[in-house]
Chain A
């Protein structure tokens, strides 16, 4: 293949990723990498695009957890809301690792365990829940990084 044409194609690929937003260093990376590195980079970019698309859904699930936490703080957490929040945490635990946020996945798992039906949430647990919810929001706000090693987690 003509070298100039190949370079133009790579540049085009780089520009079309992430809805036309150029990723710093991406062009240079594409031009110098091996086919397997390119494949890995392309997958990382594809996962990042998925994150952009589904971040609102993850935040929606987080808001259910936050609502349950607020209700628990005022001892008004009913079984229905608790169940919804537990389900939201369960889903986040399953998907965050898949989208490059393994730490978020661990936090969501802890929240899910605290929201299991039946037991009353003790004051100490409530404090821990509060920290977990804050940390989870922070993880979701930060999002996965393009160079994150966690991209191996699905």
Chain B
């Protein structure tokens, strides 16, 4: 066993058990302090294996550092801090504890040097995230949580089967880049893809996340999909299939978000959309593309959390989540509105925000590889992001009509978390150097050239023009949109019900036949062995004596013969 560093994720995992035991001010200090300690520990991890231990015939490497691990672990720890600050006094302690286990496990995945460690933390994440969802305490969250955990346990089973197969085939469990081919790697990839919300099972995300509490969804948005992006970055860089899956996710997210009325479900679809950009970048596989995917994951966690904090604040203060019930809130929630708009600009890759300096690298990689069709699709998608998240979310929530609602901005801790992340969105956009310095490959890219900024402004602002000109077509309706989850929420149960109805006559006939035979058997039993039965009936003493005497006579007669 080798120990050179303390596992940073373990601080939060253990913290999950400590949090419910402390109260009041001390709980605040513990809740906010532990993510910062975890962040500090992340930066104490050296390159290479820092912790290893034997397990069966293999060597586990629970902590193995490099720049990619540190990048993801850093943003996970920052997210754990800001998410906790946002939820500090509003969420139940069970939710915070679950979120600690969830975020600690995601840091565990980021530092996992072997596939078994990946799997263990992967499953802890599935449990932690389900608990976060259930902590919201509503009936709809309870049901959505069940659907969520079933999908994720399925992903876990696929992953485990793949890892076992991989270990048997190669004799190694080291987590490194794999060539897609053969059952083992396909199974592992399938396990990863379920968590990244790739098709065909993208629907679990918009089905489950919006049912969480305001603070819960902020946590949920960050860890599951981004650890999946991390494992794809490490395990399957340059796998062409990922380009196509990523493109599907990008446009799926846009189209469904355009149709959606629930503000947090709009943002859930846009998670799939944004993760699609990262998956596409991983599929392109060049250093520029992988840097872009990693940087975009980092930036995305911040601006998506900010958007969900803004939406969560609105939900917390008004109790409403449908765009058709909201509007005009900029008047009484100015800070929430400004932070929401900053998040919306960042997700749209507006110049001088974090999304601009990260997503541009993925587009640049497509251009460098002369992939014209892909580049055009990514450009159209960038316009689409501005359309569905950049304008639609702030417009329908904070502007459009006056809903008559005048709630104030939320409590201080929620505001502080929003301001922190709004600052980071702009800081990373204006000064991209620190983010670029964290990326896995050296960065030789300058996002701020006059031509690039002008082209991006043209693309985005004319998308805005399209939005306002087409506004009559986007009137909000009290609807949801059918998705793949329809198969297991409606078609599956209906099919079972239909089969039951079909089989009921046969079932009843069989039951009747069996019962009749059982009845006949019992009647016969009763006839011979019942109280009046010939065999079980009680004998009078005289009869008994007579029988014994007769038997005795028979014995005597036979003995003399």
Partners in one complex: no
- B-side interface residues toward A, CB under 8 Å? none
- Residue ranges of A at the interface with B (Cβ–Cβ < 8 Å): none
